[in-house]
């Protein structure tokens, strides 16, 4: 199953590198879990391609997260800005 070519007007952002690192998964391990080539995971992480709906669901199942926690039309803010507000709280 091949990924979908990226659109210029409506990009899809993802948290794949962060989620993989958090769980100690290599690209190859994630690729094996979702039955794709490791290069596909790299292309998804770089934003060169977008996942099909089926692939997005399979990826989310590996991380046990909803689609909107892994993929978004808006860039994800760094976790540090979500945890630590400006002003030191």
Q: Which two tokens stand for residue 44?
A: 């998804």
pLDDT above 60 (res 87): no
Please tell me the predicted confidence (pLDDT) of residue 88: 54
Q: Where are the beta strands (DSSP E) in 1-89?
A: 4-5, 13-14, 49-50, 71-72
Domains and CATH numbers, the chain: 4-83 (1.10.260.40)
Bridge partners of residue 28, in order along the sequence: none
Q: What is the pLDDT of residue 56?
A: 98
Is residue 89 scored above 60 in pLDDT? no
What is the chain's mean pLDDT, rounded?
88
Using alpha carbons only, what angle is made at residue 71 by residues 86 and 57, rounded to the nearest 5 degrees?
A: 145
Where do we find the tokens 């400006």? 86
pLDDT tens per residue across span 30-80: 999 999 999 999 999 999 999 999 999 999 999 999 999 999 999 988 777
């Amino acid at each position: 199953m091949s990924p979908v070519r990226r659109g210029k007007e409506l990009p899809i952002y993802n948290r794949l590198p962060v989620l993989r690192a958090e769980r100690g998964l290599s690209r190859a391990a994630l690729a094996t879990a979702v039955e794709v080539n490791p290069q596909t995971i790299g292309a998804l992480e770089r934003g060169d391609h977008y996942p099909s709906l089926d692939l997005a669901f399979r990826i989310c199942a590996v991380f046990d997260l909803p689609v909107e926690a892994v993929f978004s039309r808006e860039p994800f803010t760094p976790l540090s800005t979500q945890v630590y507000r400006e002003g030191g709280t």
